[in-house]
Amino acid sequence: MFKVLVSDPISDLGIQKLVDAEDVVVEKKPGLSEDELVAIIGEYDALLVRSQTRVTARVMEAGKSLKVVGRAGVGVDNIDLEAATQRGIIVINAPDGNTITTCEHTFAMMMAVARHIPQAYLKTVGGEWDRKSFVGVELRGKILGVLGMGRIGSEVAKRAKAFGMEIWGYDPFLTEERAEKLGIRLSSVDDIVRNADFMTVHTPLTPETRHMISRPQFEVMKKGMRIVNCARGGIIDEHALVEAADQGIVAGAAFDVFESEPPAADHPFLKHPKIIVTPHLGASTVEAQENVAIDVSEQVLNILRDKPFINAVNMPPIPANVLSILQPYFSLSEKLGSFVSQLIEGAVEEINVTYAGDLSEVDTQPLTRYIVRGVLSHHLGADQVNVVNSMHLAKERHVNIVVNSLHAARDFTNSITVTLRSKVATRQVIGTMLTGYGPRIVQIDRFTVDVAPEGNLILVSHNDKPGIIGSVGTLLGDNGVNIAAMQVGRELQGGSAIMVLTVDKIAHQDVIAKLVQLPDLNKAKEIKL
Ligand SMILES: NC(=O)C1=CN([C@@H]2O[C@H](COP(=O)(O)OP(=O)(O)OC[C@H]3O[C@@H](n4cnc5c(N)ncnc54)[C@H](O)[C@@H]3O)[C@@H](O)[C@H]2O)C=CC1
Ligand SMILES: O=C(O)CCC(=O)C(=O)O
């Protein structure tokens, strides 16, 4: 039974799938301090958070069974990713579920700042009828600078066009073609601060984006700029902004996020007549909270059940088109790694992988992670190695990983060759996906075979002589081991040969020892996949 801790308020409807899962127990404990979390996290396999819970290195260390931290939202700045990666804890987020909601909040803030809505509301409910102080500006015809043209920034740009705004965008990944497609002007930060009437930021907070709008930018900024930050506190320097508002450079600002949340009671934004604020509400709609909770719950369930998953933050993302090609190979890759690691003698020094055929044309890094996981799991334990930490663990153990690709795959559309080298041996296995038959091991060392990579296998090496197959079958049968499938591979008639037996249950070691006593039988090895 997997235990999942939900430590922030997350939509009940969104986590229903987890609650309903027969192999999962969900416990909700919002508002825990770091110490409280450290004290209990050891019991849980998964942790679900929004932005309040700080998942620190201490929490990760105490999370002895923790496999995954799921962030119901985009930003993972409350999670120590480095510590998670080192411990093989997968961190996933839900990047798509709150895009529209946050974009709409940005618009609400932009319009509120353009028309002084919060200030006018306060006066009106206070009994004053003041129509002179709140003359606003139109959005139509104004230049909107968008810093960060990712998911949210792009949606903001689309809607701003409907308001008749001219959009200038900056993003290190924004190409001329994409800008043209979006109907926006590709600009620099400097162009935007000098020319825009409105500016909105939609980047993550990184060392590069921290204070990307600060005193030097305010000094050259177009007078009367209105600024919105619904991304992360700290992208715009708060002190420099207050100065610029006091100097009349900034006509208005709308902030949903703060450098430190919640802001101190004497934070200068809270009393400033030109600055309006919301308490990090960008993603707070019923729809978004449901969406992100559903997305993250599904992926957490996949991870707990050892199924393929998406949106891991501490692994390189796999584009959807590549994922659809690679996904069928995940399990095969891991099994090839596991198979060959059970054959090799001596400490593995090199894992050499060759992708051939169609697989040579896509980024196969994710498959390599599965192969390395398969190799290392045999020695380090399947619960200690996953696709997040497998490469890190291999590097830590000075295992050299060599990856090659070959355009043509001999006899197959695709193949994966995994070769392990130690000081004393080199062993190899080749696998493929056979249309209509699924994954297959098609070569073991120099012997051609056709074996389904699953279950309990016995690999026998022997001399190709009449009667061997019968004697192996009889011995196993006499010892209650039922053979489900058998494959024989040989180089030459009468030469060395191998036999791969798929058996219904693991044979006792003494049965394997008896096998090796049979005439012309050289070795027998059990392999569990
Ligand atoms: N207020 C709230 O409740 C919410 C806030 N957010 C925040 O909004 C921000 C944007 O989210 P998404 O659009 O989903 O992320 P995204 O990853 O789709 O887009 C971020 C973009 O910023 C760009 N970027 C990175 N460094 C940059 C730089 N120096 N200058 C300009 N652009 C740069 C990236 O290339 C990327 O295209 C994130 O910080 C996220 O945490 C997201 C949802 C809700
Ligand atoms: O969970 C929340 O409400 C915060 C959302 C957010 O900031 C994000 O997804 O990056």
What one-character-per-residue DSSP string does 160-196 give?
A: HHHTT-EEEEE-TT--HHHHHHHT-EE--HHHHHHH-
261, 287, 350, 361: the catalytic one is: 261
Q: 94 CB less than 6 Å from ligand 1?
A: no
Instruction: Kindly give the distance from the C-alpha atom of residue 50 to the centroid of ligand 2, in angstroms, as a whole number.
Output: 6
Q: Which of the ligands is closest to the CA of residue 93?
A: 2
Residues near 493 by beta carbon (within 8 Å), at least 6 away in sequence = 464
- Closest by Cα among 356, 487, 371 to 418: 371
Query: Which pLDDT tens digits describe the chain residue by residue (529 residues)?
Result: 999 999 999 999 999 999 999 999 999 999 999 999 999 999 999 999 999 999 999 999 999 999 999 999 999 989 998 888 878 899 999 989 999 999 999 999 999 999 999 999 999 999 999 999 999 999 999 999 999 999 999 999 999 999 999 999 998 778 888 899 999 999 999 999 999 999 999 998 888 899 999 999 999 999 999 999 999 999 999 999 999 999 999 999 999 999 999 999 999 999 999 999 999 999 999 999 999 999 999 999 999 998 878 888 887 767 778 888 998 999 999 999 999 999 998 888 999 999 999 899 999 999 999 999 999 987 777 766 778 888 888 887 889 999 999 987 677 889 999 999 998 899 999 999 998 889 999 999 999 999 999 999 999 999 998 999 999 999 999 999 999 999 999 888 888 999 999 999 888 888 998 999 999 999 999 999 9
What is the homologous superfamily of the domain 99-277 according to CATH? Answer: NAD(P)-binding Rossmann-like Domain (3.40.50.720)
Residue 448: is it exposed, middle or buried by C-beta count within 10 angstroms (0-12/13-18/19+)? middle
Looking at the chain, the domain(s) classified CATH 3.30.70.260 span 455-529
Q: 152 CB less than 6 Å from ligand 1?
A: yes
The token pair that represents 76 in the structure block: 């993972």
Told to judge if 280 belongs to the known catalytic residues of this protein, a careful annotator would answer yes
Helices (H), 116-175: 117-125, 151-162
CATH class of residue range 318-453 = alpha beta
CA 422 to chain centre: 32
| Residue of 49, 71, 107, 152 to test ligand 1 pocket, by largest number of atoms within 8 Å of CB | 152
Looking at the chain, the domain(s) classified CATH 3.40.50.720 span 2-95+287-304, 99-277
Q: Which value does ipTM take for this structure? A: 0.99
Pick the CATH number of 455-529 from 3.30.70.260, 3.40.50.720, 1.10.3720.10, 3.40.47.10: 3.30.70.260
Supply the residue whose CA is at minimum distance from atom 1 of ligand 1.
Answer: 282
Told to judge if 398 belongs to the known catalytic residues of this protein, a careful annotator would answer no
| pTM for the predicted model, two decimal places | 0.73
Told to judge if 379 belongs to the known catalytic residues of this protein, a careful annotator would answer no
Q: Which of the ligands is closest to the CA of residue 102?
A: 1
Instruction: Kindly give the distance from the C-alpha atom of residue 324 to the centroid of ligand 2, in angstroms, as a whole number.
Output: 29
CA–CA gap between residue 407 and residue 275 (Å, rounded): 60
Q: Is the distance from CB of 210 to CB of 234 less than 8 angstroms?
A: yes
| Residue of 15, 76, 98 to test ligand 2 pocket, by largest number of atoms within 8 Å of CB | 98
Instruction: Kindly give the distance from the C-alpha atom of residue 313 to the centroid of ligand 1, in angstroms, as a whole number.
Output: 14
Beta strands 456-463 and 496-503, pairing class: antiparallel
Instruction: Kindly give the distance from the C-alpha atom of residue 353 to the centroid of ligand 2, in angstroms, as a whole number.
Output: 40
280, 369, 373, 427: the catalytic one is: 280
- Closest by Cα among 164, 159, 189 to 174: 189
Fold of 2-95+287-304: Rossmann fold (3.40.50)
CA 5 to chain centre: 19
**DSSP H or E stretch at residue 367:** helix 365-380
